[in-house]
Amino acid sequence: MGSVVSYFGHLCGNETKKEEERHLRANDRPFNLSYNYANNAIKTSKYNFLTFLPLNLFEQFRRLANAYFLFLFFLQLIPQVSSLSWFTTAVPLALVLSITAIKDASEDMNRHKSDNQVNNRKVDVLIDGELRNEKWMNVQVGDIIKLENNQFVTADLLLLSSSEPLNLVYVETAELDGETNLKVKQALTVTGEMGDSIEELAGFTGEVRCEPPNNRLDKFKGTLTDDSQSYSLDNDKVLLRGCTLRNTEWCFGLVIFGGPDTKLMQNCGKTTFKRTSIDHLMNVLVLCIFGFLVFMCSVLAIGNGIWEVREGSVFTVFLPREPGADAALSSFLSFWSYVIVLNTVVPISLYVSVEIIRLGNSFYIDWDRKMYYPKNDTPAQARTTTLNEELGQIKYIFSDKTGTLTQNIMTFNKCSINGKGYGELYDFSGQRVEITEKTEKVDFSWNQLADPKFNFHDHSLVETVKEGNPEAQDFFRLLALCHTVMSEEKKEGELYYQAQSPDEGALVTAARNFGFVFRSRTPETITVFEMGRKVTYELLAVLDFNNVRKRMSVIVRSPQGRMTLFCKGADTIIYERLHPSCSKLMQVTTKHLNEYAGDGLRTLVLAYKDLDETYMEKWRKRHHEASTVMEGREERLDELYEEIEKDLMLLGATAVEDKLQDGVPQTIEQLAKADIKIWVLTGDKQETAENIGYSCNMLREEMDEVFIVAANTAEEVKEELQNARRKMCPGGAEEPAVIRARAGLFWLERTATVLDEKVDGEYALIINGHSLAFALEKNLQMELLRTACMCQTVICCRVTPLQKAQVVELVKKYKQAITLAIGDGANDVSMIKAAHIGVGISGQEGMQAVLSSDFSFAQFRYLQRLLLVHGRWSYLRMCKFLRYFFYKNFTFTFVHFWYAFFCGFSAQTVYDEWFITIYNLVYTALPVLGMSLFDQDVNDRWSFQYPQLYAPGQLNLYFSKKAFVRCMMHSCYSSLILFFIPWAAMHDTVRDDGKDIADYQSFALLAQTCLLIVVSTQLCLDTHYWTAVNQFFVWGSLAAYFAVTFTIYSNGMFLIFTSAFPFIGTARNSLNQPNVWLTIFLTSLLCTLPVVAFRFIVIQLRPTINDKVRYKVRKEALPAPTPRRPPRRRISTRRSAYAFSHAKGYGDLVTSSRFLLKRPLKSQLALFSQTDSPLAQNEPQHYRTIIEEKEESRRSTSS
């Protein structure tokens, strides 16, 4: 449709040139409108009132079958050709088009509602020197808008000024990346000075030149020109649409991109129409059926020509030919007549039924109470109703980590203090007790400043702290002092922390609850309440964290004059700097760390050092000298840090849990048993992703090897991938085994399938984004794919949204397997749209992924029910439906083919016209729908008990080209029985009273009755799970057939509509004869017995997994729900390298004298820095003392 729109746009001269650079001027609408930039209105709907009918019909007739039936309808309007009335095609076609149009209209109306809701939101816009409240849709590029706390960001804005110190704003990016931690953005100083002065803002005429609209969420390049001065712009100066302003009273921004040009909408990309593999197969089969139909019609047309030449002249006496008519013309006309008669090989009701089945199975997902999350009142939702059966064929799952596998919530879980572990619970026999929601929690009511949301279960730690244990108090004192957290108090006792990362917030909160409450800070001091006593420490220095140091230290002086360095960091880093006297304590602490790592916790080691006043003075002077040299500054500073951070005394270790969503390890285990491979694609750093891999059992200690690819050049990446592959498969070929074939409609699509290679042992692959960028290049793609597919687990770290989609596309292209992507943020949208099935996690992390997904629910654990139960049942039902549908329709049609040899190839129908019209719509529609909506081989509990039942769907065993050919052969046999047995039985036979009943009408009635009973019996054989509805549909349809037959063959109908109902009295005269019923019985028996015998032999000799489990179901009781197992204790030497930040810390900010320039720090919730920034800084942190800061500010004042 897009190509058609662009074609008309080209005709009208509206084709727009691709934008290469964006140029805009603040407060100058005429200038900006001259560039024809998009305004801020968004449109996700496809139709409007005028275009709905033509566009929808155009889309529907693009489907091959619909176009075919339209052609057939016109063919039936030609009297010389038509052997059936026009309504036999017109009624079903109108029904199909109407149902589809109503569904499309309903979906598009929902899109219109969603668009209107967003477009009609209000925002303050600066127009003609005053703030006006305007709708979002009326905002233009170049406008200056005002945002207030908790408002959504209207468009992509250049931040101009804010209410916060240093022109900072805090934004929540949950809609974009699924993370609930806050990010910091900062305006340029030159624009920040305008503050909230409307006059200055209205007079601002700065010009911005920047990159054109794109989907890169983490990059922005541009320049601002104001008063002939140019200023560089980057991503930290830009607020993106989809963010929410937090803890910032107000801010002003300049609109750079609006509506469809915003990075949020650009990231959504074009919504592609997803079709299942069965849809693609059906298109190919329908094309084959058309070819087969042409072949049958050609055979019968040739037969008609031969018959006209040999036998036709005999009939011309009483059926004279029209003038000019001869055998050739008769043959030509009979070809088209047979196209009409045999059209039921491609029944139009097939597509109606498929849509109804998919819709029904979608409702099952929506209604499933076991996929409902009561905490957020979030049910599962099938947002797309056309992909259900593909859920039963998934081979690869691509999952995001943050917010998908994890809750993005950090909790202080355990700790080791002076060699003693805390956080575990044991019973009287010394066995470890699993902690659940019902476990008694520690009572922190003695601490008025405690966080009520904090939970801890080991009472002994509170007692140790209360008793005044010096090591325990120093432990929590360190946590309360050694950080860059900022605090503020809305009301007395109501503290809110904003932390550099959620881990750091969790540790400061733990210290708060155990009596060491971080209360406030200034650039020179930190105020802490220690067991209810206010203590103010002088902050002498912050030696901040970065990716090289992997530790953080603060130097403080207590009111008593004690000068102490407190340090926390990765165990390997801290252990190198400990005093030799700590060796025994280090061994015990290491044992605890191994246990914590085995539980998948993120660990830190804490240490301290008392400093001498004289030494500190000397060190400070040397530091001042090092910080002022021009060459080798960083190296000299690093030496000073190393010098002071040695001979530390070990205090203990902390263990923070990056909380997994409930049931994640069990879900991954179940999916692995179903032979589904899970790849994690995350923007997190390697250590974090690796840690989560161990937590959720994707990575295991017993694996043969975990390969880590972290090279910096294409050659190194290739070498590492090849080395890994050769280790896993030493005797494997250097070149991959690739099967090249053709597929798709008309076999125009070329496919290349890389075959799986056998590997002994279990391996995992971890690759970072930098290496992945090289590996995704054309010459390395195949190497990456081969190596990754040999591994049980693949984790890609630091990946961009585009790389996520590229990985999915790579697997789709070369493995020809069905893929599923699951995520929760806007950075997952491209991956969700690239995969065959997209699943969005809905909840607190934002809704952008959900809006682009095909299915959504609140928790990752529901994925196993979606696939192993709903997906498998949907696939099973759809395949059964198609096999049965093709069987009953081919059987119906082949009888016409055999009859042609007995009616002079005249295109006369075997059955009554009314039977032909309502055979698919009434007589056989409901029973097959009943089977396709309710059937199940085993119930949901057995499906979970045996995940291996999922395998046939992945191998496409239930419906394929082979299965279709078997259907045709079965139909051919049944049609032969259904035609020749009744024909032989009726030939020259007489009634009980001696009258002849071998007429056409009696034969037609017998043939159609036999057909209906045989296909109903076949349906009963195919049904595994009987319900009252199935019974009602089967018996009701047979009853309806006899009721309708006796009605339309009655005298009354003949008298009212003589020409329409010619079969007067046929039913009552034929069906009262014993030999007719004997024929029906014999025909049914001959059609059914071979099927029963064949199935019995196959089950005995080659039973499938389904046969085995169903046999077990009959023998055994229903399995109990899987009991909740306490997590198994693992001992591991592998630990997260650092549990805090992925970027440089806030040391400079918290010690800056400009930090509190504007006003005291106001209410701010959890400020977490952009933990997933790919631009992690690797240089050492510059240390600046408070005194130096004051001296510098005095120098700048005096100058």
Most confident of 245-254, 866-875, 999-1008, 1111-1120: 866-875
Amino acid found at 194: M
731 alpha-carbon distance from chain centroid: 37
Model pLDDT, residue 1164: 36
Closest CA to 153 of 62, 59, 263, 47: 263
**pLDDT above 70: residue 89:** yes
Mean pLDDT to the nearest integer, 827-853? 79
- Confidence band of 729 (pLDDT split at 50, 70, 90): confident
**pLDDT above 90: residue 242:** no
Q: What pLDDT, in 10s, does the model give residues 1067-1124?
A: 677 777 888 899 999 999 999 999 999 999 999 999 988 889 988 888 877 666 655 5
Mean pLDDT to the nearest integer, 212-232? 86
Residue-level length of the chain = 1199
Q: What pLDDT, in 10s, does the model give residues 314-350?
A: 776 666 666 666 778 888 888 888 888 888 887 677 7
Model pLDDT, residue 1187: 38
Mean pLDDT score of the chain: 82
**pLDDT above 60: residue 194:** yes
- Confidence band of 252 (pLDDT split at 50, 70, 90): very high
Higher pLDDT, 886 or 1063: 886
Among the residue ranges 215-229, 400-414, 1034-1048, the one predicted with the least confidence is: 400-414
- Alpha-carbon distance 226 to 223, whole Å? 10
Q: What pLDDT, in 10s, does the model give residues 859-899?
A: 999 999 999 999 999 999 999 999 999 999 999 999 999 99
- Alpha-carbon distance 985 to 1006, whole Å? 10
- Torsion angle of C-alpha atoms 641, 643, 645, 646, degrees rounded to 10: 160
pTM: 0.78
Q: What pLDDT, in 10s, does the model give residues 799-822?
A: 877 788 889 999 998 888 899 999
- Alpha-carbon distance 761 to 702, whole Å? 10
Q: What pLDDT, in 10s, does the model give residues 34-74?
A: 999 988 998 878 888 888 888 888 888 877 778 878 888 88
- Alpha-carbon distance 563 to 348, whole Å? 86
E strands present in 163-249: 168-172, 182-186, 207-210, 222-226, 229-233, 238-239, 244-246
613 alpha-carbon distance from chain centroid: 59
Q: What pLDDT, in 10s, does the model give residues 909-963?
A: 888 877 887 888 788 889 999 999 999 988 889 999 999 999 999 988 899 899 9
**Which pair of tokens denotes residue 508?**
């400061």
Query: DSSP label at 632?
Result: S
- Alpha-carbon distance 186 to 169, whole Å? 6
Model pLDDT, residue 1155: 47
- Confidence band of 1015 (pLDDT split at 50, 70, 90): very high
Model pLDDT, residue 1176: 33
Model pLDDT, residue 1118: 67
Burial of 1033 (0-12, 13-18, 19+ CB in 10 A): buried
Catalytic hit among 400, 474, 503, 658: 400
Mean pLDDT to the nearest integer, 395-399? 93
Rounded to 5, what percent of the chain is helix, strand, coil?
45, 20, 35
Whole-Å CA distances, 390 to 393, 395, 857, 967: 5, 10, 18, 22
**pLDDT above 50: residue 1168:** no
DSSP H helices in 1049-1155: 1051-1056, 1066-1070, 1074-1101, 1105-1115, 1147-1150
Among the residue ranges 521-535, 563-577, 1157-1171, the one predicted with the least confidence is: 1157-1171
**Which pair of tokens denotes residue 271?**
């919504």
Catalytic (active site) residue 115:
no
Cβ-contact 267, 727 below 8 angstroms: no
- Confidence band of 11 (pLDDT split at 50, 70, 90): very low
Query: DSSP label at 295?
Result: H
Higher pLDDT, 412 or 79: 412
Most confident of 147-156, 397-406, 800-809, 919-928: 147-156
Q: What pLDDT, in 10s, does the model give residues 372-389?
A: 999 888 899 888 888 889
**pLDDT above 70: residue 544:** yes
Cβ-contact 1083, 981 below 8 angstroms: yes
**What are all long-range contacts of 67-72, with beta carbons under 8 Å and residues at least 24 apart?**
68/290, 68/346, 69/93, 69/96, 69/343, 69/348, 72/339, 72/340, 72/343
Closest CA to 121 of 242, 271, 25: 242
Q: What pLDDT, in 10s, does the model give residues 24-38?
A: 999 999 999 999 998
Pairing type for strands 432-433 and 425-426 reads: antiparallel
Higher pLDDT, 733 or 98: 98
- Confidence band of 902 (pLDDT split at 50, 70, 90): confident
Model pLDDT, residue 1180: 34
Amino acid found at 351: Y
**What are all long-range contacts of 123-128, with beta carbons under 8 Å and residues at least 24 apart?**
123/147, 123/151, 123/154, 126/27, 126/198, 126/201, 126/202, 126/252, 128/202
